[in-house]
Amino acid sequence: MRSHYLPLLLPLLSTLTTALYPTKQIYQFPVGTWLENLVIRPCGSILITSLTSPSLYQINPFTTPAQEILIHNFTDATWTVGITQTTPDTFYVIVANGSLQTLSVAPGSNRLYRISFPPPSPHNPNPNVEVSLAATLSGARLLNGATTLTPNEILTADSVLGIIWLTDITTGSSHPAFSDPLMLPTAAPPGIGINGIKILPGIPSYLYFTNSALALLAKIPLHPNNTAAGPAEIVTHAPAGTSYDDFTFDIFGNIAFLATSQGNSIAEVKTRNGKQEIVAGNVNSTKIAEPTSAQLGGDGVLYVTTAGGLAVPVVVGGEEVRVGGQLVAVEVGLGV
């Protein structure tokens, strides 16, 4: 998710090198659909959330043609946002009553739902998905990205308050766990501060996050008990005229792949030194139209969701173009 109140006249990305990976569209939703986040199931199918409907979708990228499957409609919400996996085929998704026009959420409507896929059996090869309310984050303002801290703890980014909430999914209780000036939005409302969040394991491990308003990727070192071991430090800034949305890492944690939203591209950032290049898409192409999130599959394919230019149209040949929200595959390979 990003603020569409940023300037609409964007400079070309002339300061970065590019080494484009092969890219193809797997599926496109109708025009006016904003796809927000995704996660890959153990079977390879992809779960997708949306800011323009209270829905959770599934797409199998290996079928031709690909088809969308509606997993669940959340009747107490208007959108679905961040999603994360805790244990195999158990996921937690953020839902809320939100407005794209004002980038705001009705007070008390931020919720975490548990989505469980029971294993098939010879007697029931297609078991029903189990959906249950896990927590209500009554103090949250605008939840956005989500990640798993431990099998029983979920972190969610609050883009307005500029904090990260920790939710114990066994009790449903939540409290602010991380805060830093680099998480805050800018003064001009509505503003989207902290956006995507991910844990990068290691010694030490790090909590990485993007801030869309400040157009940066930052990280916080973590103690073994998963508390902050120091202040946040900037890894890199987004290319000129763009901002970062959500992101993911390669299997080694050496590279972060970031959605550049209105840059209509994917940036590859070295986590050790912040060196950056564009590896997919182009500011004047609808191939990856306003990307919102990315996840790396075990087959070396980076799966990307897009908003289709709904907030900031793609300028192609001098004309503003919007397309439906997309699921795109970028072949980054297994060697990254």
The answer to whether the CB of 103 falls within 8 A of the CB of 166 is no
Q: Quick check: 218 pLDDT over 70?
A: yes
| pLDDT tens sequence across 230-266 | 999 999 999 999 999 999 999 999 999 999 999 999 9
pLDDT, residue 3, reads: 54
pLDDT, residue 44, reads: 95
| pLDDT tens sequence across 286-311 | 999 999 999 999 889 999 999 999 99
The answer to whether the CB of 137 falls within 8 A of the CB of 143 is yes
d(CA 58, CA 1): 20
Q: Quick check: 229 pLDDT over 60?
A: yes
pLDDT, residue 272, reads: 93
DSSP 181: G
Query: Which are the contacts of 307, defined by CB distance < 8 A and separation ≥ 6?
Result: 34, 35, 36, 51, 261, 289, 290, 291, 292, 325
Of the pLDDT bands very low, low, confident and very high (cuts 50, 70, 90), residue 157 is very high
The DSSP bridge partners found for residue 265 are 281
pLDDT, residue 203, reads: 86
Region 211-223: mean pLDDT is 97
Q: Quick check: 190 pLDDT over 60?
A: no
pLDDT, residue 6, reads: 42
Q: Quick check: 142 pLDDT over 60?
A: yes
- With tokens 């797997």, the residue in question is 26
Q: What is the CATH number of domain 23-331?
A: 2.120.10.30
Q: Quick check: 9 pLDDT over 60?
A: no
The answer to whether the CB of 244 falls within 8 A of the CB of 195 is yes
- With tokens 């000036």, the residue in question is 181
Q: Quick check: 17 pLDDT over 90?
A: no
Q: In terms of Cα–Cα distance, which of 278, 282, 280 is closest to 301?
A: 280
> 2-16, 64-78, 90-104, 282-296 — which is least confidently predicted?
2-16
The DSSP bridge partners found for residue 95 are 80, 111
DSSP string of 231-276, one letter each residue: --EEEEEPPTT-----EEE-TTSSEEEEE-GGG-EEEEEETTT--E
Query: Which are the contacts of 319, defined by CB distance < 8 A and separation ≥ 6?
Result: none
The answer to whether the CB of 250 falls within 8 A of the CB of 296 is yes
Output the average pLDDT for the chain: 92
Region 59-70: mean pLDDT is 95
The answer to whether the CB of 321 falls within 8 A of the CB of 314 is yes
> 3-17, 112-126, 180-194, 279-293 — which is least confidently predicted?
3-17
| pLDDT tens sequence across 82-107 | 999 999 999 999 999 999 998 899 99
| pLDDT tens sequence across 106-121 | 999 999 999 999 887 6
Q: Quick check: 182 pLDDT over 90?
A: yes
